[in-house]
């Protein structure tokens, strides 16, 4: 479902409500009903600087980065600023989580960059996170418990939306150390360029999934965006989790052939370069894969490359490197 309702601040379920969610019967129907009932899961938060109502001039760069909760918003903002990207697609962004000091990293990063943003909640977190994340927490509660995707730009974002990808409530079960309400999502908007508008989308596909599952999610997203903005060029970027839990070989993911069959090109930097690395909180330090990509249609992309998530002292800001591309214009 394409969610178009926007707010300046999410409605936050109370601590008591969230404690009660943990004891709900763990069935898909119960999860779907609760998901539909929560305003925070069915709105897009808009904020940041007022984006200039002007078109982007070509060429321009776009950065996509899974920020792994965004433990270091100021350092991450500096890393993003160095790319000079006027359009940024981010995933795994907390809001009001103890593991990230109850901060709002999306607002902090956008503030540092002087950008406006759209943010959507992927999961309402019902715990403090994984065991290693709990060791970072000074509080024993989450003020809000939000975790999601954001899209930010130096120019105006028009008609922002949230699209919740088809899923099976994989994180809503009794055996999960990170119980959550929600499923993976995409956040997008229309961006104006000197050649006309296009749709930019920040997406995060499911990690605990099969190849077919991820292809279904991407196909549903493409269908939704085509219905939302017929005929417009499209840029989708983010963590596609390609090869995750299926042997680590991204080339086995059928979503690439599906997207190419629908007119999309795939860009992820050099094909022999992986995009993940060990971090301070990763649960899988030995799992090195190529997960992060752009899919584009109707846009001329001249190059793409990876930017290391290590800071100058060699500290990893995330378990993902950033993927960056250059857009030269619209393609015929």
Interatomic CA distance for residues 70 and 90, integer angstroms: 10
Report yes or no: 221 and 188 within 8 Å, Cβ to Cβ: no
Q: Which CATH number belongs to the domain containing residue 9 in this structure?
A: 3.60.10.10
Distance, CA of 54 to CA of 47 (rounded, Å): 18
Query: What are the pLDDT digits (tens) for 82-138?
Result: 999 999 999 999 999 999 999 999 999 999 999 999 999 999 999 999 999 999 999
* Residue 4 reports pLDDT greater than 90: yes
Query: What does the pLDDT look like over 9-38, one tens digit per residue?
Result: 999 999 999 999 999 999 999 999 999 999
Q: Calculate mean pLDDT across residues 152-168.
A: 96
Q: What is the DSSP string of 271-292?
A: TT---B---SS-S-TT-----E
pLDDT (tens digit per residue) in 178-194: 899 999 999 999 999 99
Q: How far apart are CA 160 and CA 304, in angstroms?
A: 25
Total structural domains within the chain: 1
Distance between alpha carbon 178 and the CA centroid of its chain, in Å?
Answer: 18
pLDDT category of residue 312 using cuts at 50, 70 and 90:
very high
CA–CA–CA angle 148, 7, 27 (5° rounding): 50
Residue 51, pLDDT > 70, answer no
What gap in Å lies between CA 270 and CA 267, rounded to an integer? 9
Query: Could you identify the residue written with the tokens 């002007």?
Result: 54
pTM: 0.97
What range defines the domain where residue 268 resides? Answer: 2-330
């Amino acid at each position: 479902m394409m969610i178009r309702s926007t707010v300046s601040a999410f409605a936050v379920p109370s601590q008591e409500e969230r404690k009660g969610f943990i004891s709900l019967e763990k069935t898909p129907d119960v999860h779907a009903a609760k998901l539909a009932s929560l305003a925070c899961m069915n709105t897009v938060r808009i904020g940041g600087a007022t984006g200039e109502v002007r078109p982007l001039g070509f060429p321009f760069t776009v950065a996509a980065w899974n920020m792994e909760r965004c433990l270091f918003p100021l350092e991450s903002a500096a890393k993003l600023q160095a790319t000079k990207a006027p359009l940024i697609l981010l995933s795994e962004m907390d809001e009001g989580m103890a593991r990230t000091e109850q901060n709002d990293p999306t607002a902090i990063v956008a503030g540092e960059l002087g950008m406006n943003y759209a943010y959507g909640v992927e999961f309402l977190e019902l715990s403090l996170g994984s065991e290693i994340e709990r060791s970072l927490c000074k509080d024993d509660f989450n003020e809000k418990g939000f975790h999601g995707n954001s899209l930010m730009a130096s120019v105006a974002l028009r008609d922002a939306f949230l699209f919740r990808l088809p899923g099976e409530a994989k994180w809503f079960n009794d055996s999960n150390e990170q119980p959550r309400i929600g499923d993976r999502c995409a956040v997008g908007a229309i961006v104006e360029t000197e050649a006309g508008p296009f749709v930019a989308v920040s997406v995060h596909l499911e990690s605990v999934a099969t190849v077919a599952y991820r292809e279904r999610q991407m196909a549903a997203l493409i269908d939704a965006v085509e219905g939302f903005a017929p005929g417009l060029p499209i840029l989708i970027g983010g963590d596609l989790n390609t090869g995750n839990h299926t042997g680590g070989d991204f080339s086995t993911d059928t979503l690439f052939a599906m997207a190419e069959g629908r007119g999309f090109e795939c860009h992820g930097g050099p094909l022999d370069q992986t995009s993940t690395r060990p971090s301070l909180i990763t649960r899988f330090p030995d799992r090195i894969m190529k997960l992060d990509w752009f899919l584009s249609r109707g846009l001329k992309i001249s190059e793409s490359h990876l930017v290391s998530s290590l800071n100058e002292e060699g500290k990893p800001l995330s378990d993902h490197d950033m993927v960056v591309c250059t857009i030269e214009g619209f393609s015929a």
